[in-house]
Structure 1
Amino acid sequence: MATPPPGLTLSPGHTRLLLLGLGLATGMEFYTFDSMNLVLSDLTGTLGVSADEASWLLTVYSCSLFLGVPVSIWMAGHYGYKRFLISTILLFSIASMGCAISPDLDSMLIWRAIQGLAGAGLVVWWRASIYVLLPKPQRSPSLMQVSTVLYLSSAAGLLVSGYITDHLNWRLIFLPNLLYAAGAVWLVVRYFPTLPPPSAERLIRTDWLGIALLATALISLQIILNRGEIDDWFGSLHIRVLAWTSGAALLLFVVWQASPANRTPLLWLSLLRDRYVLSSALIGVFTGMILSGSLFVLPEFLRNLSTHTHSATQTGQIICVYALTAAAIRPLMVGLIARIGQRKTIVIALVMLIASMVLFNRLLTTDTPGYYYVVPLILYACCLSPLLPAVGSGTVARIEQNKLLDGVSLYMTFRQFGASLGVALLTILIGHRETLHSSRLFEHLRHDNPVTQDWLASVSATLVARGGYSPIESQRAAVRMLAEAGAHQAATLAYADAFAFMAAVGVIALCLVPIIPPTPVAKK
């Protein structure tokens, strides 16, 4: 892919305002991602859907983002970098308003899919713009500045959306996106330089077959994830057909992208011959899983299962600890990576992740106070801040200037594949583990169990004495309370297993570190 000339001369003030514009544009996506995760339980009542159906809003968005990452590089080449960036900002804000006014789940899923496609352009082009527009010495500090804005946007998503949900209505959480969009468009229009157009071949030729194959794979996968639990997964014929279709389409997509007959592929897979790119892409898959899955279950647990039931505001205040910590320590990461190198930085980050997830797994009970989770959240922040720049830097370590955008696209595609995979696997894992824990728990809650009989008798007597229940009503109420308590405990154990799964992801990623080539470090 043709890339603009490197190192355009921009004044320091011009550069700062451009970076702020890129930060606001992508910050809108970060704000929305954390906001949706926080208020998902509120959507179930308003839209009249189950928690599983509400989670489709996350999986649809994640899969659309995955499709949009490689397509966004191609579209920017066709329509111009600046025009494409402004268009994605506007489209994301329009889709946000569509989500706000959606009357039902189906319409909101459509808007979330559009939001994911637009969000892909934002998450790719803030990074790509820095590589394209700025000389190499300015890239790491610039990435740091924008990353700090993104972490602060995540914190804003948790704090602002929680407050809005509790005091107004969850639909209004999308309104701040208009402010983000207005500021981003104003800055991008004024400070994003006009770049020369890409090569004529890229403008004329389009990898329609690649787009069709990737879309087929993702749409089939999305239907499987949405309908699998309802239709008995692979016990259903159409789920098996969709699984084969998705797998075949994805395999054909990879073959077509690597084929010499494809002169303008969406992804330049030949870049994977470089060990730096290959290692960053493979670890990028696990990085995506860490990003999407590590705190996936925490908001729902705090709001619905914890004995100390937390409001949206309180939940946001607890979880935002990780975002604020990450923003605070992110400026230190540039020097850390330069001093100890990419490999050691990634090892430290993954050890922090494993420690955080194990601590979550051990702490997660229905009686655990919210402030107990501050320590694992800080450890998680100490994973994110060094991990993302360390893994991402390997993508462009030795790539020629005219291949930089393709390197960024390749890394982000692998990372977003991991993000989609993380949400999907956790959704499936939680469902299966909850069923398993329920069966084990209720095996011990039989009526002929003396402990169960004593508990039911005690609760029933209390309800008669203090609740005004009749003896028959009290017995039924006691059984309902026991069933609810058992269901809560089963769900809690399943959520704890989700954190154990993410710790295992960290261990597997740690095993891949040796494939990263040694990198030079700064001399003391």
Structure 2
Amino acid sequence: MIEQNSLVEYGARRVIITITAVVCALLEIIDTTIVNVAINDMRGSLGATLNEVSWVITAYAIANVIIVPMTSWLSQQFGRTNYFATSIILFTVSSFLCGNATSIGELIIFRFMQGLGGGALLVTSQTIITEIYPQEKRPMAQAIYTLGVIVGPTLGPPLGGYIIEHYAWPYIFYINIPVGIIAALLTMVYVKSPKYAEKRKASEVDWLGIGLLALAVGSLQYILEKGQEEDWFANNTIVVLAILAGLGTFFFIWRELTYKYPVVELRVLKNSNLRIGVVLSFIMGFGLYGSTFVIPLYTQSILGWNAQQAGLLMVPSTLVVAFMMPIVGQLIQKGVSQKLLISGGMLIFFIYCLGSYKIITPSTGGDNFFWVLMIRGVGLGFLSVPVAVMSLSTLKGPQIGQGAAFSGMMRQLGGSFGVALISTFISRQNMKHRSNLVSKLNIYDPDVQHRIASLKAGFMAKGMPSNTAEATAYKLLDGSISLQSTVLSYMDVFLWVGVMFLACVPIVIFFVKSAKNKVSLSDAAH
């Protein structure tokens, strides 16, 4: 058993622990996106191909997804304080090694190590923040933690862009070092470890379960990261890994349901609120990371912005989320139905998607996105904390830790699915729309001929020869078609993501059960 009351902190001590945990979670999330803007610089510095350097992102994501569901078990094996401090140290040392890597192979290995340390920070930070607050203030604690999770993906690109522009790519890793050192020291001084039941002997450890988990989620994460790039199931590696992911998942579930000391307790998913919460966490990750991915992609590919400009566009929306978090935390503490808040958040996020669908045109500028992004911030504010609270609301004791780990893993996987599926969807819809537009463009049509002649005359007036002017006119027309088809693809993305969120509203209304007692989030993510 765990002595829960001894973990509650007050005054300056609670403030220090809260800041430490939030900063650690924020560092982990920022590092998932900050590298994206440094890819080209890394390629030039390390002499790597685009395919090789993309593994810097993939290795971190795979390590994250493997370690998150194991955090509960690892905390019990080594003690909360020891495990959290060790994870911070591993993350910090790996950051230093990443910045000093002299080859792409070294950088990939060090990024995987960084991901193993970082994944632990994410869930364990949630646990620590939850447990140091009294029960009546735990929804507010969830709001503080979730703020870091929401802010991180948005801050990565502009921060990375600024560092690349003014310094060099190793500094996107070096900035973690002073923060990591301070966080590790504060953890060892201030963070208390619960008293767990006796840890397992080496012979009782579920080594097979750990191996199957790594095989299943590692293969799945690779497929999601590399699928579009490798043409999905036309690639033999993707096919083999899909089979391994399927078999690994099947035998992992069998192992965890039959072994006496499972590394992940799957039976906790019998709880209906947690099952729905896991699904909603997946969808929320899909929407959060998907929208953080698609709008910067639009501004960069259509408007020609750089990564720093594209990232800064998302900052006001993130500030709205920050503003909403304490409000939503107070509403939950005052007894406002989590069903109502989650349903409202889903509807507001649908409105954001519909608004984005309506405003996108080839001439849409960044300013046009301001108000729809404000709506996005309000929607995520209403969703994030209630989903976390609702998922764990009808669990008790150590079940809550397992539930938090599942939710964290599914949010990460939701983000990976979101980016992978949106990338593929945009690519395929782009081809479809281009084909439709070209089929309706008849070069013998008088309007088309008039347009070409007009463009040709304009180019000739600037001194171009006749044949060059005509070729340039056709090229310009082709570029216009490509632009239109790309914009139509982005419109489709917003429409279908919005429909997905809208479809979740009745699921929340009819299937989420209200907790009979006040929400208790003690032991979250043990």
Whether TM-score is above 0.5 comes out as yes
- Using the TM superposition, give the Cα deviation of residue 331 of structure 1 relative to its aligned residue in structure 2, in angstroms: 0.8
- Using the TM superposition, give the Cα deviation of residue 330 of structure 1 relative to its aligned residue in structure 2, in angstroms: 1.0
Choose 90-99 or 433-442, whichever is displaced more.
90-99
Q: Residues 254-285 of structure 1: CA distance to partner in whole angstroms, max 9, x if unpaired?
A: 222222xx122232121122223222223222
Contact 1:7 1:135 in 2 (8 A): no
Aligned match of 2:396: 400
Q: How does 1:104-115 map to 2 (within 5 A)?
A: 108-115=107-114
Q: Partner letter of residue 81 of structure 1?
A: R
Over 3 Å counting, the alpha-carbon distance change for 1:505 and 1:331 in structure 2 is: same
- Using the TM superposition, give the Cα deviation of residue 367 of structure 1 relative to its aligned residue in structure 2, in angstroms: 1.1
- Using the TM superposition, give the Cα deviation of residue 59 of structure 1 relative to its aligned residue in structure 2, in angstroms: 5.2
Q: Which one of the candidate residues 351, 355, 359 is aligned to 2:351?
A: 355
What SS does structure 2 have at the residue aligned with 1:390? helix
Q: How does 1:286-305 map to 2 (within 5 A)?
A: 286-305=283-302
Q: Does 1:116 align with 2:115?
A: yes
Over 3 Å counting, the alpha-carbon distance change for 1:101 and 1:322 in structure 2 is: farther
- Using the TM superposition, give the Cα deviation of residue 36 of structure 1 relative to its aligned residue in structure 2, in angstroms: 4.1
C-alpha separation between the residues in 2 aligned to 1:155 and 1:447? 45
| Runs of 5+ unmatched residues, structure 2 | 519-526
Q: Residues 112-144 of structure 1: CA distance to partner in whole angstroms, max 9, x if unpaired?
A: 443333221111011122344444224223233
Contact 2:225 2:420 in 1 (8 A): no
C-alpha separation between the residues in 1 aligned to 2:476 and 2:441? 12
Aligned match of 1:316: 311
Q: Does 1:465 align with 2:489?
A: no
- Using the TM superposition, give the Cα deviation of residue 326 of structure 1 relative to its aligned residue in structure 2, in angstroms: 0.7
RMSD: 3.2
Contact 1:59 1:424 in 2 (8 A): no
Q: Which one of the candidate residues 499, 503, 506 is aligned to 1:504?
A: 499
Aligned match of 1:20: 19
Aligned match of 1:492: 487
What SS does structure 2 have at the residue aligned with 1:296? helix
Over 3 Å counting, the alpha-carbon distance change for 1:175 and 1:505 in structure 2 is: farther
C-alpha separation between the residues in 1 aligned to 2:363 and 2:141? 43
Q: Which one of the candidate residues 433, 454, 466 is aligned to 2:450?
A: 454
Q: Partner letter of residue 347 of structure 2?
A: V
Contact 1:56 1:226 in 2 (8 A): no
What SS does structure 1 have at the residue aligned with 2:7? coil
Q: Partner letter of residue 514 of structure 2?
A: P
Q: Partner letter of residue 76 of structure 1?
A: S
What SS does structure 1 have at the residue aligned with 2:293? coil
Q: Partner letter of residue 68 of structure 1?
A: I
C-alpha separation between the residues in 1 aligned to 2:153 and 2:131? 26
Q: Residues 166-204 of structure 1: CA distance to partner in whole angstroms, max 9, x if unpaired?
A: 444455333432343233223222211244355232776
Choose 406-415 or 325-334, whichever is displaced more.
406-415
C-alpha separation between the residues in 2 aligned to 1:414 and 1:189? 30
C-alpha separation between the residues in 2 aligned to 1:477 and 1:82? 66
Aligned match of 1:429: 425
Aligned match of 1:475: 470
Q: Residues 319-340 of structure 1: CA distance to partner in whole angstroms, max 9, x if unpaired?
A: 1111111112211011222342
- Using the TM superposition, give the Cα deviation of residue 97 of structure 1 relative to its aligned residue in structure 2, in angstroms: 4.5
C-alpha separation between the residues in 1 aligned to 2:450 and 2:72? 66
C-alpha separation between the residues in 1 aligned to 2:77 and 2:149? 28
Contact 2:284 2:414 in 1 (8 A): yes
Choose 236-245 or 37-46, whichever is displaced more.
37-46
C-alpha separation between the residues in 2 aligned to 1:402 and 1:393? 16
Q: Partner letter of residue 362 of structure 2?
A: T
Over 3 Å counting, the alpha-carbon distance change for 1:234 and 1:148 in structure 2 is: closer
Choose 414-423 or 330-339, whichever is displaced more.
414-423
C-alpha separation between the residues in 2 aligned to 1:128 and 1:389? 14
Aligned positions, number: 516
Q: Partner letter of residue 21 of structure 1?
A: T
Q: Does 1:91 align with 2:90?
A: yes
C-alpha separation between the residues in 2 aligned to 1:450 and 1:55? 47
Over 3 Å counting, the alpha-carbon distance change for 1:489 and 1:184 in structure 2 is: farther
C-alpha separation between the residues in 1 aligned to 2:436 and 2:48? 28
Q: Partner letter of residue 208 of structure 2?
A: L
Over 3 Å counting, the alpha-carbon distance change for 1:184 and 1:210 in structure 2 is: same
| Runs of 5+ unmatched residues, structure 1 | none
Q: Does 1:517 align with 2:513?
A: yes
What SS does structure 2 have at the residue aligned with 1:401? coil
- Using the TM superposition, give the Cα deviation of residue 68 of structure 1 relative to its aligned residue in structure 2, in angstroms: 1.5
- Using the TM superposition, give the Cα deviation of residue 49 of structure 1 relative to its aligned residue in structure 2, in angstroms: 8.6
What SS does structure 2 have at the residue aligned with 1:297? helix
What SS does structure 1 have at the residue aligned with 2:301? helix
C-alpha separation between the residues in 2 aligned to 1:444 and 1:46? 46
Choose 114-123 or 161-170, whichever is displaced more.
161-170
C-alpha separation between the residues in 1 aligned to 2:4 and 2:35? 39
Q: Which one of the candidate residues 375, 378, 390 is aligned to 1:379?
A: 375
C-alpha separation between the residues in 1 aligned to 2:429 and 2:104? 26
Q: Does 1:346 align with 2:345?
A: no
Q: Residues 492-521 of structure 1: CA distance to partner in whole angstroms, max 9, x if unpaired?
A: 222222222321221232232021003469
C-alpha separation between the residues in 2 aligned to 1:491 and 1:41? 24
Q: Residues 56-97 of structure 1: CA distance to partner in whole angstroms, max 9, x if unpaired?
A: 655554443222211222222223222221222233334444
What SS does structure 2 have at the residue aligned with 1:295? helix
Over 3 Å counting, the alpha-carbon distance change for 1:404 and 1:15 in structure 2 is: same
Q: How does 1:271-286 map to 2 (within 5 A)?
A: 271-286=268-283
Over 3 Å counting, the alpha-carbon distance change for 1:508 and 1:52 in structure 2 is: farther
- Using the TM superposition, give the Cα deviation of residue 389 of structure 1 relative to its aligned residue in structure 2, in angstroms: 1.3
Over 3 Å counting, the alpha-carbon distance change for 1:163 and 1:188 in structure 2 is: same
Q: Residues 4-62 of structure 1: CA distance to partner in whole angstroms, max 9, x if unpaired?
A: 54442533211111001101111112333343456668778878899898776555544
Aligned match of 1:263: 260
What SS does structure 1 have at the residue aligned with 2:456? helix
Over 3 Å counting, the alpha-carbon distance change for 1:14 and 1:232 in structure 2 is: closer
- Using the TM superposition, give the Cα deviation of residue 219 of structure 1 relative to its aligned residue in structure 2, in angstroms: 3.6
C-alpha separation between the residues in 1 aligned to 2:191 and 2:197? 17
Aligned match of 1:336: 331
- Using the TM superposition, give the Cα deviation of residue 151 of structure 1 relative to its aligned residue in structure 2, in angstroms: 5.0
TM-score under structure 2 normalisation? Answer: 0.87
Q: Does 1:326 align with 2:325?
A: no
Over 3 Å counting, the alpha-carbon distance change for 1:13 and 1:225 in structure 2 is: closer
C-alpha separation between the residues in 1 aligned to 2:178 and 2:358? 40
Q: Does 1:417 align with 2:413?
A: yes
Aligned match of 1:248: 247
Q: Partner letter of residue 274 of structure 1?
A: N
Choose 179-188 or 19-28, whichever is displaced more.
179-188
Contact 1:342 1:519 in 2 (8 A): no
Q: Residues 204-250 of structure 1: CA distance to partner in whole angstroms, max 9, x if unpaired?
A: 63222222222222343345445544655334555444323322221
Contact 1:77 1:202 in 2 (8 A): no
The percentage of aligned residue pairs carrying the same residue is 24
Choose 347-356 or 49-58, whichever is displaced more.
49-58
TM-score under structure 1 normalisation? Answer: 0.87
